[in-house]
Structure 1
Amino acid sequence: MQNFVETGLRPEILESLETIGFKTPTPIQSKTIPYILESENDLVAMAQTGTGKTAAFGLPILQKINTENNKIQSIILCPTRELCLQITRDIERFSTNLPLSVVAVYGGEPINRQISALKRKCHMVVGTPGRVNDLINRRILDLSSVRFLVLDEADEMLKMGFKDEMDAILAETPKTKQTLLFSATIPPDIESIAGKYMNKPHKISVTHNNQTAENINHFYMVTSTSTAYPTLRRFADMHPDIYSIVFCRTRQETKDIANKLIEDGYNADALHGELSQGLRDQVMGRFRKKHLQILVATDVAARGLDVNDLTHVIHYHLPDETENYVHRSGRTGRAGKSGVSVAIISPKETNKIKMLERKIKKSFTRIMVPGGMEVFQNRLVNYLETLKTVEPNSFPLDQYWDLVQEHLNHLSKEDLIKAILSREFYRVYEDYSTAPDLNVSAERPNSTKNKRNRREKGRRFSKFSINLGRKNNMRPDLLINLINRHTPEYNIQIGKIDIQPAHTIFEADQHYEKELIKAFRKAKFKGNSLYVQTFKKHRR
């Protein structure tokens, strides 16, 4: 199907689509729009996130709704508040030339506003199961006139524990309605709902289960668990125009990684379940407007965040389930653009990469973690490139020009450039000039054998303490970088690291005990003197 005219949609809807730039239907839209327009039978459609599902069910429903009847004729259920708002916005854009009203109902907002909206003219409701069920129990939401029921991302609603609410809501709808179920996967629970509430549904699938889009390239970097964060930093530094979601497993990890990125000067923030609705809206609004370059999120929190221009999806940890990897990766490479999915893994996770390759039928390419000087040079070049585009008249510099010349006239052009670059890049150079290689072998190590070999070679460790701790934002990778920077002539092996509130206890090769203490005698960190000394546990 080459254009939306061929779908059979009304001129008013086609005009709206032209205004917002919709030209060619996606595969799921090409198959579902004509079917829903021509048939009243139920439908089960399997399609991944980002394939244009909202238009696939929304456009034909808009065409079939009777706008002269002010009763609720369609209800769309979805798993999260964010997706609820996104669907509502899309429906409103599609229906700009129609006298149609759509109301979004979701938790985390005062219910009274939503009750007032429902009491006015309302043809369509988009809602999350919990709030919809609440409104039904309050006898506010009447679904007796519903002709179209949509279950969007039905698999996610079940995963989030909404089965009871979904059962209760579906029981309130007429038996004669048309039910449209959209899901990325069809697990047994979905089959059960289809069997219980749907009448011989027609099935449409536009992708094989657990397969990602063709225009997404898959990469991975192998590093140790303790250096995953500096690996992420280096990757971001190599891509100054990065616009990415970084996926983490837990809320706490999401907060920790986002805080580190913010402290290190990146335009980043976190999206997780502990945020209030107001803060979630604020964070997502900033990300959509590209005021944030990096959004660190959990899988559930990122649901409903519809962004078309992501350059990268980064897996700080690989998900346990293949379908979650497919969901994550599908957030890049949208609207016909190419996308990049990058996983940061430890050697023991290489088997997961091989498993993913088999399941999604795509090959993964290993890329190396950039070296310190490679990152430094890249940042320097990008800074120089940005200078070329700076508008010299961005503020009234002319009126201060005599003052500028008075202070800088004695400097040659070369000395001035050196002074500017030294000021801008001294700390960056200090960080990266002695930065260690973060790449490790992709072969899964035999940890017991490695420990035995280390002791057999006669390497013994002494305990040391340094006057930096959690209050100084000390991290294992930061400690290792400090030691490497101040002892560049030695290859000092580091053992266990224990970060405490005000100091850090660490193991280091006892052969270099004197050299290590001496190297830090005049060392400073952020203007404060550093002290390294041997650590002896006091006994009582």
Structure 2
Amino acid sequence: MAKLRTLCYSIIFAPSTKNITILASFASLGVSADLIKALNENHIESPTEIQVKTIPFLNEQDTDFIGLAQTGTGKTAAFGLPLIQKIDGSKPYVQAIVLSPTRELAKQIAKQLFRFTKYYPEKIFTEAICGGDKIDAQIEKLKRPTQIVVATPGRLNDLLDRQAIDLSQVEYVILDEADEMLNMGFKKDIDRILRFAPKERHTWLFSATMPEEIKQLIKQFMKPDAHKVEVDKEQLVNKNIEHFYTLCDNVKEKVPMLLKFLKKQGNQQGIVFCKTRATVRKLAAQLEEKGLLAKPIQGEMFQSERDKVMRMFRSKKTQILVATDVAARGLDIKNLGFVAHYNLPEQIEYYTHRSGRTGRAGRKGLSMCFVVEEELEPMEDIEMELDIVITPVATA
């Protein structure tokens, strides 16, 4: 009976480029010509919806702000461009901090802000402060003029403990991927950082979802009149992503079914998500044994090992990353062809984050689930909660 739920047809998953509707030019949003020159150089030519709704407001207003939008919709430019234009490059102290859930995402944000300011008339210095790097070296870097600090919450607290960073003149605090920071257990770290920052600061919060913990954080640390922008309110998952599942007779059948699916992807790169680090290690080894270019990304790895895997992936020496949710969060990956769910996520919000790794910048994306009979009900909960349809297919 289980197999009757599976439609027996094959699908060629070949994402194609889709043009983004040009909602406005960056100039009309109040972005300076120097910043626009850098944007064009980085092939960012037309603003996304979150950028259109966010940039003019943040340029003109000094208030708290809440931006709700999916992963991959351009949130870094949405807050980064107005932030750069508000920073005073003649003042050598920290004026803004950007909090990020992972080292990878923090470094990605810092790199983007650096690229944005390439032609900017004022010298604005951004420093990435993350766990996994030598803290003494970071302390030395912070002795130089620095206007923006992009940090993971744990490492920023370490620096506060050592009195190695001064937040007393911070005017802007940006919480990026706020829901994920709370999911990763950074609530106490964030609370402490916000208490160190001046009360008259402006707090900008960006998140893909709005769980109860986020609402509590907003109530506790943000002004009641905080301006809120929501992109695709009724579309919790990127509408450019197609969602499918294949039903396996048992857990052991997942590996051969996954192999068939991966072989159909050709040279496209993707991420396979697992629930535990042990499953990540085992599955990556199984895929490698079958001749696939697969590497694990999980929390027990040294940062140098993670960096090596990511260099291999970006140079296309590795095709598939096998990862846990936490390890994959914030990875700077462009043109990802697909994501596969070897295990369904424990939290529905994670399905949003996982799927959001593909289908970026207007391209088509693909999300494939591998489930057994007892996982059908949790999968239906995902469909109902996120208002999506996960279509049954056969990979053979």
Q: TM-score, normalised by structure 1?
A: 0.67
Distance change >3 Å, CA 168–CA 68, structure 1 → 2: same
Q: Which residue of 2 aligns with 1:479?
A: none
CA contact (8 A) 1:251 1:272 kept: yes
Runs of 4+ displaced beyond 3 Å: none
- Structure with more contact order per residue of length (Cα contacts < 8 Å, sep ≥ 6): 2
AA of the residue aligned to 2:159: L
CA contact (8 A) 1:47 1:206 kept: yes
Q: Which residue of 2 aligns with 1:339?
A: 365
Partner of 1:301, secondary structure, is helix
1:306 CA drift (Å): 2.3
AA of the residue aligned to 1:106: C
1:290 CA drift (Å): 2.0
Match for residue 342 of structure 2 among 303, 316, 332: 316
Q: Which residue of 1 aligns with 2:112?
A: 90
Match for residue 229 of structure 1 among 236, 240, 255: 255
* Distance across 1 between alignment mates of 2:38 and 2:32: 10
Match for residue 361 of structure 1 among 387, 390, 396: 387
Q: Which residue of 1 aligns with 2:241?
A: 216
1:350 CA drift (Å): 2.1
- 1:498-517 CA-to-partner distances (Å, cap 9, x unmatched) read xxxxxxxxxxxxxxxxxxxx
Q: Which residue of 2 aligns with 1:290?
A: 316
CA contact (8 A) 1:77 1:152 kept: yes
CA contact (8 A) 1:71 1:122 kept: yes
CA contact (8 A) 1:210 1:359 kept: no
- 1:282-339 CA-to-partner distances (Å, cap 9, x unmatched) read 1112212222111000000001112221111100011122211111111111111101
Partner of 1:104, secondary structure, is strand
Q: Which residue of 1 aligns with 2:213?
A: 189
Q: Which residue of 1 aligns with 2:12?
A: none
* Distance across 1 between alignment mates of 2:202 and 2:40: 28
Q: Which residue of 1 aligns with 2:20?
A: none
1:144 CA drift (Å): 1.1
* Distance across 1 between alignment mates of 2:389 and 2:395: 19
Moved more, 342-351 or 272-281: 342-351
- 1:459-508 CA-to-partner distances (Å, cap 9, x unmatched) read xxxxxxxxxxxxxxxxxxxxxxxxxxxxxxxxxxxxxxxxxxxxxxxxxx
1:228 CA drift (Å): 0.5
Match for residue 29 of structure 1 among 51, 58, 83: 51
Q: Which residue of 1 aligns with 2:34?
A: 12
- 1:429-464 CA-to-partner distances (Å, cap 9, x unmatched) read xxxxxxxxxxxxxxxxxxxxxxxxxxxxxxxxxxxx
* Distance across 2 between alignment mates of 1:369 and 1:31: 41
Distance change >3 Å, CA 351–CA 189, structure 1 → 2: closer
1:209 CA drift (Å): 6.8
CA contact (8 A) 1:28 1:51 kept: yes
Q: Which residue of 1 aligns with 2:328?
A: 302
* Distance across 2 between alignment mates of 1:192 and 1:235: 42
Aligned residues with identical type, % of pairs: 43
Report whether the alignment pairs 1:277 with 2:299.
no
Partner of 1:66, secondary structure, is coil
CA contact (8 A) 1:185 1:209 kept: no
* Distance across 1 between alignment mates of 2:374 and 2:145: 58
Match for residue 142 of structure 2 among 102, 114, 118: 118
CA contact (8 A) 1:210 1:323 kept: no
Q: Which residue of 1 aligns with 2:287?
A: 261
* Distance across 2 between alignment mates of 1:210 and 1:326: 11
CA contact (8 A) 2:93 2:146 kept: yes
Q: Which residue of 2 aligns with 1:74?
A: 96
* Distance across 1 between alignment mates of 2:165 and 2:207: 25
Report whether the alignment pairs 1:327 with 2:349.
no
State how 1:107-506 maps to structure 2 within 5 Å.
107-200=131-224, 201-208=226-233, 211-223=236-248, 224-370=250-396
* Distance across 1 between alignment mates of 2:58 and 2:203: 10
CA contact (8 A) 1:45 1:182 kept: yes
Q: Which runs of 5+ in 2 are unaligned?
A: 1-22
Report whether the alignment pairs 1:39 with 2:61.
yes
* Distance across 2 between alignment mates of 1:190 and 1:212: 19
CA contact (8 A) 2:344 2:379 kept: no
1:177 CA drift (Å): 1.4
CA contact (8 A) 1:210 1:326 kept: no
Task: Please tell me the root mean square deviation across aligned C-alpha atoms, in Å.
Answer: 1.3
* Distance across 1 between alignment mates of 2:218 and 2:193: 14
AA of the residue aligned to 1:240: G
AA of the residue aligned to 2:54: T
1:210 CA drift (Å): 7.0
Q: TM-score, normalised by structure 2?
A: 0.91
* Distance across 2 between alignment mates of 1:352 and 1:171: 39
AA of the residue aligned to 1:109: D
* Distance across 1 between alignment mates of 2:194 and 2:319: 41
Q: Greater CA radius of gyration, 1 or 2?
A: 1
